[in-house]
Amino acid sequence: MNRLYALACFMLTIQFYSFPQGYHTIGAAFFNDTLELYGEVFIPALPAGQGVGVAIIQGSGPSGTDNSWARSFAELLAEHGIYALLPDKRGVGKSRGDWKKASFEDLAGDAAASARFLKNKYGLKKVGVMGLSQGGAIVPIAASQEEAVAFAIDVVGSAVPFEELIIHEVANTSLQEGLSPEQVKEVLELHVLMKQYIKTGDWAPLEARYQQLEASGWADYARTFPREKDSWVWDWIRLNFDADPLPYWAKVEQPVFVAYGARDEQDNVPVWRSVYLLQSIFAERQKKDYEIHVYDTGHAMYQSDQAALHKGFASDLIRWIKELQ
């Protein structure tokens, strides 16, 4: 009897925790309305269950299918029987458009299109979206607006408003660059002037401050911020400055998986505030079908001693997805 019980437990383990397997990739074009986008589909040799897939949402900047960090997530999924679509962000690689002129809502539309394509092209039963870093803030927009999205995964994507995220990251980066606490305060004052320029279009106060900073102890660091009045950065920030993922998270009815790295608190993301905000909004909505995990790692979600995904995260993610089937 004990042997039968042990065998049953083993079979359940096999069901939810599959061992790495082979996969192959194929390029694919798909459309968000008339905008042609491109991605790489990771096709598992032995698809799990009745067919499940994940449409990945890239992080900030010009991320494409050659992004090794993003590829590691697609590879993990495919190795465990889960289809994955890794896109060229609009304006990157073979995708048309321009991410520099796109709002988070625009990018959510691209993500929804990729989820629809993956589901329909391969006849999958369930397809979810998984946002990496900044892509995590796009996840709830796509999930709350697209019926083809069956589940939502946020990997190190902040839950705070975009402005708050910028200040958190800038303050931490300033400290990492060796600035003193007083100088960090001055960096934040500079960002107040940036905000005023974004809101009013008055360049003079910011230009004058930039000139003053040439004689400061952190002149080199100050030069890393956009110095041209007509830089594309300003228009992009205007598009997304008031972005706040939390109201969208309140509308997400699908199962949710969220993962953070605890050490990211001193880097890119206000981890604990994000966790609290999500816990609070899900409690208000009486949402039960979610998991939030915080691992002892950083923003990349790597094992601390190697450029490989954190084992605990990888195990939890695969187990969670397979339990949805």
Q: Which residues contact 101 (CB under 8 A, 6 or more apart)?
A: 232, 235, 236, 239
Task: Report the 10 Å Cβ neighbour count for 311.
Answer: 10
For 70, the domain range is 23-161+243-323
Strands 149-155 and 256-261: parallel
247 & 319 share domain: yes
Q: Which pLDDT belongs to residue 18?
A: 54
Per-residue pLDDT of the chain (325 residues; tens, 9 = 90+): 455 444 444 444 444 445 678 999 999 999 999 999 999 999 999 887 779 999 999 999 999 999 999 999 999 999 999 999 999 999 999 999 999 999 999 999 999 999 999 999 999 999 999 999 999 999 999 999 999 999 999 999 999 999 999 999 999 999 999 999 999 999 999 999 999 999 999 999 999 999 999 999 999 999 999 999 999 999 999 999 999 999 999 999 999 999 999 999 999 999 999 999 999 999 999 999 999 999 999 999 999 767 899 999 999 999 999 999 8
Give the chain's domain count: 2
59 & 127 share domain: yes
48 & 145 share domain: yes
Give backbone dihedrals phi and psi of 46, rounded to 5 degrees, phi first: -125, 85
290 & 169 share domain: no
155 & 270 share domain: yes
Q: Which residues contact 286 (CB under 8 A, 6 or more apart)?
A: none
Among residues 137, 135, 60, the alpha carbon closest in space to that of 99 is found at 60
* Residue 6 in domain: no
Q: Which pLDDT belongs to residue 105?
A: 98
DSSP class of residue 302? Answer: B
The identity of residue 323, as a single letter, is: E
Q: Which pLDDT belongs to residue 7?
A: 42
Q: How many residues does the chain have?
A: 325
Q: Which pLDDT belongs to residue 47?
A: 86
Task: Report the 10 Å Cβ neighbour count for 181.
Answer: 9
Q: Which pLDDT belongs to residue 82?
A: 97
Q: Which pLDDT belongs to residue 306?
A: 75
**3-class DSSP state for residue 58?**
coil
CATH of the domain at 314: 3.40.50.1820
Q: Which pLDDT belongs to residue 4?
A: 47
The residue among 195, 224, 240 that closes a domain is: 240
57 & 127 share domain: yes
* Residue 10 in domain: no
224 & 303 share domain: no
230 & 257 share domain: no
The residue among 177, 210, 240 that closes a domain is: 240
177 & 205 share domain: yes
122-136 exposure pattern, b = at least 16 Cβ within 10 A, e = fewer: eebebbbbbbbbbbb
* Residue 294 in domain: yes
- d(C-alpha 169, C-alpha 325), whole Å: 37
Residue with tokens 């007509």: 230
**3-class DSSP state for residue 33?**
coil
The residue among 213, 240, 267 that closes a domain is: 240
Do 140 and 152 contact (CB within 8 A), yes or no? yes
Residue with tokens 């009045």: 229
Q: Which pLDDT belongs to residue 3?
A: 53
* Residue 188 in domain: yes
Strands (E), the chain: 23-32, 35-44, 52-57, 83-88, 126-132, 149-155, 256-261, 290-295
- The rounded Cα 312 to chain-centroid distance in angstroms is 19
Q: Which pLDDT belongs to residue 9?
A: 45
* Residue 125 in domain: yes
155 & 175 share domain: no
Q: Which residues contact 138 (CB under 8 A, 6 or more apart)?
A: 57, 104, 107, 108, 111, 131, 157
* Residue 85 in domain: yes
Among residues 163, 165, 184, the alpha carbon closest in space to that of 175 is found at 184
